Chain A
Amino acid sequence: MHKEQFNSRNVNNGYYLVDIEDYPQDGWGKFKRVVRRTLRGELFVGLWVVLREMIKFDIHTIEYPLEKMPIGPRYRAVHEMKRLWESDTERCIGCGLCEKICISDCIRMDTRIDENSRKEVSQYTINLGRCIFCGYCAEVCPELAITHGGEYENASEQREHFIMYEDMLTPIDTMKAGKQLEFEGFGAITPHEDERVKKTPLAY
């Protein structure tokens, strides 16, 4: 075993605080911030672009909030957790491969043994502040449990709110209604899979 890493006694782990102005705490400070942000020159740049396109009368955009473009199956938006068709329980077995493969090291999970002596995932988190939506987690998942969804309309004060475990998991009523969408992106089973597999003999 190499011991270099233990011989370095520099305990500073490489993190440092970025020099950011503190958020205003009082009402006057907040008001000043609003004024400063609102009355910036950039506002008029945006307004001019819209005005310019409007007077050209050559508009190709769809009426976005009312109309939406279809999303391809390989689109990688915020993650989803799927359920089993047979039992409606979570597909995730807690193997930890997504945690291992994640190149931005943003997935963490806690596992434990449950009352039925099965492996249970007691905590599962994805740090969206770090996630680069590479799709490796969905690709490596042996159970097709974690996938990328098509949901791109996210709005919240914190990115973490997009990825509450309860929200990622297919809602039980959608599941009961048989409306869980199967993922067709990376890692999904291809057609003709049966022909590629060498069969194991069975003595039954």
Chain B
Amino acid sequence: MSKITMNIDGKAVQTQEGETILNAARANNIFIPAICYLTRCSPTLACRICLVEADGKQVYACNAKAKEGMSVTTKTQTIETERRAIMEVYDVNHPLQCGVCDQSGECELQNYTLEMGVDSQSYAIKDIDRSSKDWGHLHYDAGLCIVCERCVTVCKDMIGDNALKTVARGGDSIADTYKESMPKDAYSMWNKLNKSIIGLTSGQEMLDCTSCGECAAVCPVGALVDTQFIYKSNAWELQQIPATCGHCSAGCQIMYDVKHTSVSNPEDKIYRVMNEWNYVSLCGAGRYGFDYENRVASKDETAFAKAIEAFKKADTIEFTSTITNEEALILQKLKEKYSYKLVNKEAKSFQTFLKYYSEISGTSLYGSDLKAAHDSNFVISVGAALKSDNPNARYAFNNSMTLNKGAALYFHPVGDPVIEGMGKSIMSVNHAPLQEEAVLYLILDLFADKSKLPTSVAKYLASFHSEKTITVEETIKEEIFEMVKEKKVNKETGEEEEVEVKKSKMVPKKVSKEVQVDENRLLQIVGVNSTFEEELEKNLKKKDSFALIVGEDLYGHPQAKNLARLVALIEKYSDLKLTLIPPLTNSLGVALICELDDAKGSFTIGYNTKANFTLSALGDGDLDMPSINQQEGTLTSINKRVNPTNAALVYHGYELNDIANALGLNAQNVIQYTAKLPLNKGFEAKDFDSLPNRYENDGTEVRGYVLQAQAVSVSSDENVEPLSEDSLKGTLIYRANPVRQFSEFTHKATNLDEKSGIYMSEAYLAKMGLHEGDRVKVASKYGEIVVPIVSDNKITGEIAMLPTFDLKLNSEAVFGDYRFAAASIEKV
């Protein structure tokens, strides 16, 4: 992509080749009105208000690509007439009860109506019944809807649920006289608008999607509103606190909207979460799981004294990765001072995986991020339950396909109708658990440059290939001749007579022939279907940028070391850009900052996990701690970015820093540790207050800073072990959370109401003769638990999913390090 120069309203503007005029203008702070367009989604062309004149021709700025030397005028007489007419059309029959609309002034219809100076109405049409509908977590008021289709676009192009579509509106058609009297674009835009309204793709009355609420966020008017927010507060009363979501490793930028609780309670409360939807898309947990704060009335001095005592007695600190980098550093410093053992299972396996990966790659961090996945046109996902492990990775997966005409490969043992439903060019392969190794070998085989691969690896890969002769039936077109009788007018006589004409005709004919083909035994091991190779070939056409997303399944795999080395080989010898999904919010930060240990000692202090003495931000421990939305600090995201987050709510109790100070460390505020994060791991010595948290107009992410990958000494040994063809047999369980749940913190949020229990697909339940709500005993070689059944239509196949978000289930008890386990499921 090269830089080009164009001219917008007399201003010379530099932009990338292939960029649209609208985005080029926005990046350079030139205003072009646009209602239906969403950055990172394909142009909808519903509003037509972004009409501009490019080189004397009227084009839509959201759709037209910028060209070298192009001259664009954003406002001419005709364009202004069109725009005003369009806004008048949008105002036709729009209710004027702005006082009770939840958009409360953050309304693009209001803004553009005023911008275009609409002070009178020239058009009218009979309205139809457009009553509001309750769609579950969303409320749709069709009366307010201007059918810009932004919700439909974002659901399809970004989220991948395809839950919304336009449906027929019914009612009168526009009076014929308008066709002559109205500006052309306004008329055709009205014509389209007047025929449609938003409906559910499923045809049901209730939304059945992954409930991200992104459609409500992008709605320019108050038509789509979060049910939990209806008539709660006016937007202008809410104070926006810029923060980073603390639920998963995506580290999305969010705004907590905060106001006093009620007339009688002046304490602040979070009313909703907002996002810069042009540049970042949230999942349901980020958007609705905001009230997980730990309200503490005052400092509990006796509990604090007990905590200090416990710290003096303890030899181990066990914790989860839902902590900030600063807290992780405090723990590390405590370890250095008092030689505590730091135990964090999930971060430890990630840390080890990264270490093995570095042995071949030579860098401390994986080479790419989700942005690269968004921008590529062929994405592969291995070892991640993508939709629930990291929703942003899933959005990147879907977005690369819809926007770049891409294709994708999804390798996972559990079938996922959401992923499969994203489009035809997704190839979903449900391999057996433990076969991730074979999958990586297959990727290496398909994508790596074999001439550069270490000879032993290349040789090993070649050993899977064999030649075989198969008979293929081919259809060829054969030319045949036939005599046809035709009636022709004799020019001399003027009469019609029959003449025989010889005509050639192409007729398809089937022939079978024998061909030599290459047979790849890896395909057989992975268990792909017979059309896989053919489809892959088709999907790989015209693809030039590739991305690989690797998930948590691999970190706890018995062959993790070999897998990490394979992943490094793939990154090194193929064009695939690699991103690893950290298992929890700040697993990457913890893995970099803390030296983690494997085994626990005799007396353990647990931070957000039950132990001999428990510090807990969940409010159920021996000493209360602030939760992420009550803390300042930084979180390290999957994109290797150190993102700052601010405290949305006050916290009156003790925090980890107080304990550290009592134990001999010295810092007034926990954020004093931000500048002290280890430089040799890629952190920078920057003060917390200097870290920005925003997006620029052109979509540039100006948040915190990006970790610098450190060079690691490599051994020349790039050999990998041959794959083991072991696989788990029998009834299988998988440790994964449903969408919108990540940890006990999301479980605590009142708006996230996912049931806890063992998740089984509908078909599997029917086969086992079980029903939702039945209690079953799940027993594996690690332990056994009794849990209720939850029927889940978002998974297919015969692997049951055990979530970890509800600690009461104690599902960790039936798993080892690997996320899959063989178990028995019996009704009790």
Contacts and interface: CB of A to CB of B under 8 A. Distances in A.
Interface of A: 1, 3, 6-7, 9, 93-97, 99-100, 108-113, 117-120, 123-125, 142-143, 198, 200-204
Contact of A201 (B121, B233, B669): B121
Contact of B132 (A99, A100, A117): A117
Interface in B71-101: 97-100
Interface of B: 97-100, 104, 119-126, 132, 172, 175, 230-234, 236-237, 240-242, 255, 260, 262-264, 646-647, 669, 689, 692-694
B124 A201 contact: yes
Contacts of A119: 100, 231
A198 B262 contact: no
Contact of A97 (B99, B123, B233, B260): B99
Nearest to B692: A3
**4 A-B pairs with the lowest CB-CB distances in the bound complex, closest first:** A95-B99, A201-B124, A203-B124, A123-B263
Given A97-B99, A112-B231, A1 B132 contact: no
A82 to B, nearest CB: 15
Given A96-B237, A117-B132, A123 B262 contact: yes
B237 A100 contact: yes
A198 B125 CA distance: 18
22 contacts: A1-B694, A6-B241, A7-B689, A93-B97, A93-B99, A93-B100, A94-B100, A94-B231, A95-B100, A95-B234, A96-B104, A96-B234, A100-B236, A108-B260, A110-B263, A111-B232, A123-B263, A143-B99, A198-B119, A198-B121, A201-B122, A202-B124
A94 B98 CA distance: 11
B693 A1 contact: yes
B124 A200 contact: yes
B266 to A, nearest CB: 9
Contacts of B646: 3, 6
Contacts of B100: 93-95, 118-119
A90 B119 CA distance: 30
Contacts of B237: 96, 99-100
A111 B260 CA distance: 13
Contacts of B231: 94, 111-113, 119-120
Contacts of B242: 1, 3, 6
Nearest to B104: A96
A52 B375 CA distance: 92
A97 to B, nearest CB: 7
Nearest to A117: B132
Question: Which of A99, A108, A125, A204: most chain B Cβ within 10 A?
Answer: A108
A10 to B, nearest CB: 12
A111 B716 CA distance: 68
Given A6-B242, A96-B104, A198-B120, A110 B262 contact: yes
Question: Which of A1, A99, A113, A143: most chain B Cβ within 10 A?
Answer: A1
Given A3-B693, A93-B99, A200-B124, A112 B262 contact: no
A123 B264 contact: yes
Contacts of A198: 119-121
A92 to B, nearest CB: 10
B634 to A, nearest CB: 14
A202 B132 CA distance: 22
B126 A142 contact: no
Contacts of B264: 123
Contacts of B230: 113
A94 B237 CA distance: 13
Contacts of A124: 263
Nearest to A97: B99
A100 to B, nearest CB: 6
Contacts of A200: 120-121, 124
B99 A142 contact: yes
Given A96-B234, A99-B234, 18 more contacts: A6-B647, A93-B100, A94-B231, A95-B99, A95-B100, A96-B104, A96-B236, A96-B237, A99-B237, A100-B236, A111-B232, A113-B231, A123-B262, A123-B264, A142-B99, A200-B121, A201-B122, A203-B172
Contacts of A93: 97, 99-100
A142 B255 CA distance: 31
A93 B231 CA distance: 11
A86 to B, nearest CB: 16
Nearest to A114: B231
Contacts of A108: 260, 263
A11 to B, nearest CB: 8
B263 A9 contact: no
A6 B568 CA distance: 41
B144 to A, nearest CB: 13
A112 B693 CA distance: 33
Given A108-B263, A111-B231, A9 B126 contact: no
B241 A111 contact: no
A97 B262 CA distance: 17
B127 to A, nearest CB: 8
A202 B263 CA distance: 42
Given A93-B100, A95-B99, A198-B120, A109 B132 contact: no
A131 B613 CA distance: 52
Question: Which of B98, B100, B230, B260: most chain A Cβ within 10 A?
Answer: B100
A109 B263 contact: yes
Nearest to B694: A1
Contacts of B122: 201
Contacts of B232: 111-112
A6 B691 CA distance: 12
Contacts of A113: 230-231
Nearest to A109: B263
A151 B61 CA distance: 60
A9 B172 CA distance: 60
A120 B232 CA distance: 10
Contacts of B125: 203
